Amino acid sequence: MSTYATRMIRIGSVCLVVLLSAGLLPVLAPGGSALAAQSQYELPRGEGEPYRAHPEAVEAVNKLKSPYCPTMLEVCPSPGGAALRDSIADLAEQGWEANRIVEWVIDRHGEEYRAVPPRTAGGFVAWWMPAFGAVMLLFATIWVLLRIRRNPEEKPAPVTNVSDEDEVRLREAMRELDAEEEATFF
């Protein structure tokens, strides 16, 4: 082999080792297909076992919006969202309750990422006021409709005793009115 070919093989080997160690070619690494499908922020799973999230973590994640994308945290595809879900799972594994985890996230990211209002008087009003308003609107509509049906506007009684003279004048006025209303489109 020539020195040029030997040198190219060494350069190629060094490049392959560097790319494998940097994680740029995970498919070529042993078990690389499993690593390629897993985010760098996700916790590794056991062989053949499905991932089961802690119930407190699931409850906390369902009560939060994502600070990293405009969706709920449970469906956020960003790496930051995955990292936050993993942090929440870690806290739940340490024994934290869902409400404490939610408050922890809110303290770090802000109140605007709370998806469910807190259980206070204000939170109660925030959830139930629109429904209460809709029910009141329904009752008001029914009340108005019933009132309209009970008290129809008084209509004048038809006049039945018209003199012949008045009837002739009335018919002439009606003919004039019909003549004026006739549209002339030429």
What is the average pLDDT value for the chain, to the nearest integer? Answer: 77
Q: Is residue 134 over pLDDT 90?
A: yes
Q: How many angstroms separate the CA atoms of 150 and 101, rounded?
A: 58
Q: How many angstroms separate the CA atoms of 101 and 112, rounded?
A: 16
**pTM of the full structure:** 0.44
* Angle separating helix axes 55-62 and 79-93, nearest 10 degrees: 140
Three-class DSSP category at 153: coil
Split at pLDDT 50, 70, 90, the class of 146 is confident
Q: Return the ∠ at Cα 75 (arms to 74 and 76), rounded to 5°.
A: 100
What does residue 128 show for φ and ψ, rounded to 5 degrees? -100, -15
Closest CA to 60 of 27, 34, 22, 86: 86
